[in-house]
Structure 1
Amino acid sequence: MVKKIYIIGLGLIGGSIALSIKQNDPTIDILGFDINHDQAAMAKKIGAIDDVSQTLFPNLENIDVIFISTPVEQTLKIISQLNEVRLKKGVIVTDVGSTKGKIVEYAEKHLNHSIVFVGGHPMAGSHKSGILAAKSHLFENAFYILTASKLATSEHVHTIIQVLKGTKANFIEMTPSEHDQITGVISHFPHIVAASLVFQAEKYEEQFPLVKRLAAGGFRDITRIASSSPAMWRDILLHNKQPLLQLFEEWISEMNRVKQFVADEEAEELFTYFNHAKSYRDGLPEKQKGAIPAFYDLFVDVPDYPGVISEVTGYLAMEEISLTNIRIIETREEIYGVLRLGFQTEQDRENAIQCIGKYSNYETFII
């Protein structure tokens, strides 16, 4: 039975894991460490952890499970150092990294036989960071991937699932290779595409200065993931090198196919291409959290006149519905509604739709 846990890294992910564990079982004692001492102190203040460790490797001989919630490169360094630390026999070590192949391989190579490693990847996040952004329900309904090392048994995996029961996540077991192939397609490569589109827009801005202003609408939305941490994505791409190299080849081939449709003016082929993409995209789960964190945006079709923002936000305030973002949209190609409202949860957005419909005749849209 797990009684003591050590969490290294108390940001959004580590903090949310700690909060969910404490909420589900307050008797579990959680020790936490963060390189930012203020962050660690705040984690204790909000009840995410019971005690703060002043060093990375305190006395860990009574710890049952260790969570490494750090960037990928730091995770590798910590794994290599753990081999020199006195730990409880049979301690389970897990991580939260977005790549799994290299991490699990590294753990199997560097950790001794008294340490069991189970790779983990909670596929949820937020546009906010730090312990104050942590939520006990951050992973609710999200997929939480577990990739066991060679020494890990089904019992060890079950232990991690039980510890993380309070996250209310959907746990899936797969091999490190399967994980990296899948996340390469649905998460890692899309970040590359988004960044490349931004580079293309920046290049054209030299010739057409209006590019930046006109890109404030749909272009900004479809490329929002390009605003993610450069250091994090540098490491992810280097760690998932082989699957991504294969995806580059497949993407180039696909773009050449579409390019040829355009060059040959193949109207029917182009229609079929976009129609198939639309059908598949429309069939994707709407309420299931995926690899790329969702923004719960609501578009409101309102006339742009003085006071309209305070009018709509006033309705939300009456129903005590919190906003995370609000913006008047200038470029509205394929976006219905001049007002864009951002919410923290899907439930808040649903409540907002009901609220606005209750107090006004404004139409609302979800894209």
Structure 2
Amino acid sequence: MTTNVSIIGLGLIGGSLALALKRNPELIITGFDRSYKSADEAYRRGIIDSVAPSVKAAAKEADYIIFAVPVAATVQLLQEAVTWDMKSSVIVSDTGSTKKPIMSAAQGLIEKGITFIGGHPMAGSHKSGISAAIGHLFENAYYVLTPAENGHPDDLERMKTLLTVTRGKLAVLDAAEHDQMTAVVSHFPHIIASSLVNMLSSQEQGQPFVRRLAAGGFRDLTRIASADPVMWRDITVQNKEQLVDQLDRWLSEMHSVRKMLNESDPDSIQQFFDDAKHFRDNLPSVAQDAAQGALYMQFDLHIDIPDHPGVISEITRILASNEISLTNIRIVETRTDVYGILVISFRSAAERNNAAQVLEKETEYSMQIL
């Protein structure tokens, strides 16, 4: 017996979800996207089995409907969906990164007797669009589900069963709890990273060499500031209350740091750094937890190489001959607190670890996984 899954929005997340679900041969994937080009590419690549002519048509025969569009668009579609013709047994979900606005918008469906279970796959890529879709995007990434307060446990189990083939780590959270935690570990860090970059930009006018010094650790520390500004504008607006609370906490922390610096007590300053180091060092690593966290990250390998012609081409040749793909390669110009000057990024911890093993076997360069 086949099960019909309709995915609304065929970008990176929607396309990757479709590819992951197609591991289950009993699923028929229908896709819809406002961009005919994206929908057509998804069909031609076999990412979906058919293209729906409209959102309503995609929803009509679906056993599962998943909105893989920005949160604001999801909210609008959920409000419109109250009037759609759908199966009474359908489960509706989404992939948005803030859950309270979505759960609120879904109340009309829930009151109508339709099951809604919020979803947030905590995975991403440096690329976007259907052309970047990959079936293993969600592997070892947390996939959070936020069921309605009075939702039936059997429906939650059905949703978990559907998503098992994504190989993500399914977790169930309250929507408010989800938004608070993602504000702490994902949304607020983006604000801090962007603030640091903007501060650097303002200082560059008087100290132009600072840009070159920022090519090392500063660039890595603030990598997330390169994310899509439109997406993060929407996330900031949607999770405003939690972010304001985090900002108040941050300002209080910075006031304490300022006081500590003015007092110039070496013991207090060392304790400040000791506490941070201890907590940071005991955070679960990807290797320990086998799961990605709330922040999209690249998996970096730092390689200490000699400065002579042909070294980089030698390394890329070795990786290519072992069919290992990389997503980025760059040279770090300063070495403060950084192991190595060549940094290679990979899509997954497995690819990075495989690359390290191959390079250790075929070269004498030292390397560090950070």
Band the TM-score falls in, shorter-chain normalisation = over 0.9
Aligned to 1:68: 67
Answer yes or no: is 1:332 the counterpart of 2:324.
Answer: no
TM (normalized to structure 2)?
Answer: 0.95
Tell me if structure 1 keeps the 8 A contact 2:109–2:115: no
Answer yes or no: is 1:353 the counterpart of 2:356.
Answer: yes
**Cα displacement (A) at 1:318:** 2.8
Q: Deviations over 1:282-311 (max 9, x none)?
A: 111212200111211111111122111112
Tell me if structure 1 keeps the 8 A contact 2:123–2:138: yes
Tell me if structure 2 keeps the 8 A contact 1:328–1:338: yes
Amino acid at match of 2:232: W
Distance 1:204 1:215 in 2: 12
Answer yes or no: is 1:267 the counterpart of 2:270.
Answer: no
Aligned to 1:289: 292
Aligned to 1:95: 94
Amino acid at match of 1:318: S
**Cα displacement (A) at 1:152:** 2.2
Q: Which runs of 5+ in 1 are unaligned?
A: none
Distance 1:88 1:68 in 2: 16
Amino acid at match of 1:80: Q
Aligned to 2:14: 14
**Cα displacement (A) at 1:196:** 0.5
Between the two proteins, what is the percent identity of the paired residues?
44
- Three-state SS of the structure 1 residue aligned to 2:31 is strand
Distance 2:365 2:173 in 1: 46
**Cα displacement (A) at 1:321:** 1.9
Q: Deviations over 1:317-348 (max 9, x none)?
A: 33222222111221222111111111122122
Amino acid at match of 2:8: I
Tell me if structure 2 keeps the 8 A contact 1:316–1:352: yes
**Cα displacement (A) at 1:2:** 7.0
- Three-state SS of the structure 2 residue aligned to 1:365 is strand
Distance 1:19 1:58 in 2: 21
**Cα displacement (A) at 1:151:** 4.7
Aligned to 1:34: 33
Distance 1:312 1:55 in 2: 48
Distance 2:206 2:259 in 1: 27
- Three-state SS of the structure 1 residue aligned to 2:6 is strand
Q: Which moved more, 1:326-335 or 1:223-232?
A: 326-335
Aligned to 1:342: 345
**Cα displacement (A) at 1:364:** 0.5
C-alpha distance 64-2 of structure 1, shift in aligned 2 (>3 A): farther
Tell me if structure 2 keeps the 8 A contact 1:119–1:148: yes
Amino acid at match of 1:206: Q
Q: Deviations over 1:262-281 (max 9, x none)?
A: 11102111111111111111
Tell me if structure 1 keeps the 8 A contact 2:10–2:68: yes
Q: Which runs of 5+ in 2 are unaligned?
A: none
Tell me if structure 2 keeps the 8 A contact 1:101–1:180: yes
Tell me if structure 2 keeps the 8 A contact 1:16–1:138: yes
- Three-state SS of the structure 1 residue aligned to 2:124 is coil
Which of 300, 305, 320 in structure 1 is aligned with 2:303? 300
Q: Deviations over 1:232-274 (max 9, x none)?
A: 1111111112111111111100111111111110211111111
Q: Which moved more, 1:36-45 or 1:181-190?
A: 36-45
**Cα displacement (A) at 1:22:** 0.9
Aligned to 2:251: 252
- Three-state SS of the structure 2 residue aligned to 1:305 is coil
- Three-state SS of the structure 2 residue aligned to 1:58 is helix
Distance 1:85 1:112 in 2: 14
Q: Which moved more, 1:349-358 or 1:75-84?
A: 349-358
Distance 1:61 1:194 in 2: 43
Q: How does 1:1-367 map to 2 (within 5 A)?
A: 3-23=3-23, 25-58=24-57, 60-109=59-108, 112-287=111-286, 288-367=291-370
C-alpha distance 118-152 of structure 1, shift in aligned 2 (>3 A): same
Tell me if structure 2 keeps the 8 A contact 1:33–1:55: yes
**Cα displacement (A) at 1:27:** 2.2
Distance 1:64 1:318 in 2: 44
- Three-state SS of the structure 2 residue aligned to 1:57 is helix
- Three-state SS of the structure 2 residue aligned to 1:164 is helix
Tell me if structure 2 keeps the 8 A contact 1:17–1:164: no
Residue correspondences, number: 366
Distance 1:90 1:321 in 2: 44
Amino acid at match of 2:358: C
Distance 2:147 2:325 in 1: 40
C-alpha distance 81-256 of structure 1, shift in aligned 2 (>3 A): same
**Cα displacement (A) at 1:46:** 2.2
**Cα displacement (A) at 1:21:** 1.0
Distance 2:285 2:270 in 1: 25
TM (normalized to structure 1)?
Answer: 0.96
